[in-house]
């Protein structure tokens, strides 16, 4: 058996090589063998709208009015959000906003203070 890494997208162990690319037959994800080695050691970097790297515990400011799904309230431009937590998924940031409560935000709509 070859020693190929599992698919980074679906976790399938049935990956195979095609030239310099690795391919997953289950989800059809393709990636470079060099990418998989560097991704495992570095981890994912989340950046704000200006390109600054975000860390857990940072304070950010909202740069656009954001409608709160399922509610008539809005998170206004300039709202300061303290002590953010970075997570994986569609929305990069978990936080608590005064007057609204727990929220998930996308990093593209905030800037680091």
Scanning the structure block, which residue is given the tokens 């020693």? 3
pLDDT at residue 35, rounded to an integer: 63
59-112 folds as SH3 type barrels. (2.30.30)
Task: Please tell me the total number of residues recorded for the chain in this structure.
Answer: 113
Residues of the chain with CATH 2.30.30.40: 59-112
Question: 69-103: buried (b, 16+ CB within 10 Å) or exposed (e) per residue?
Answer: eeeeeebeeebebeebebeeeeebbebebeeeeeb
Supply the CATH classification number for the domain 1-38: 2.20.25.10
The mean pLDDT value of the chain amounts to 87
Which pairs from 75-78 meet CB under 8 Å and 24+ separation? 75/100, 75/103
Helix (H, G, I), strand (E, B) or coil at 53: strand
Residue 39 pLDDT more than 60?
A: no
Q: Model-level pTM greater than 0.95?
A: no
Mean pLDDT of 1-20: 82
Mean pLDDT of 7-33: 86
Residue 38 pLDDT more than 50?
A: no
Residues of the chain with CATH 2.20.25.10: 1-38
Residue 43 pLDDT more than 80?
A: no
């Amino acid at each position: 058996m070859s020693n190929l890494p599992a698919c980074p997208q679906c976790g399938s162990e049935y990956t195979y090589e095609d030239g310099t690319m690795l391919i997953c037959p289950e989800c059809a994800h393709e990636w470079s063998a060099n990418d998989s080695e560097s991704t495992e050691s570095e981890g994912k970097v989340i950046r704000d709208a200006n390109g600054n790297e975000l860390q857990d515990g940072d304070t950010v400011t909202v740069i656009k009015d954001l409608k709160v799904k399922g509610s008539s309230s809005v998170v206004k431009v300039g709202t300061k959000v303290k002590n953010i937590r970075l997570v994986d998924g569609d929305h990069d940031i978990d936080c608590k906003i005064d007057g609204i409560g727990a929220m998930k935000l996308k990093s593209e709509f905030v800037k680091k203070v």
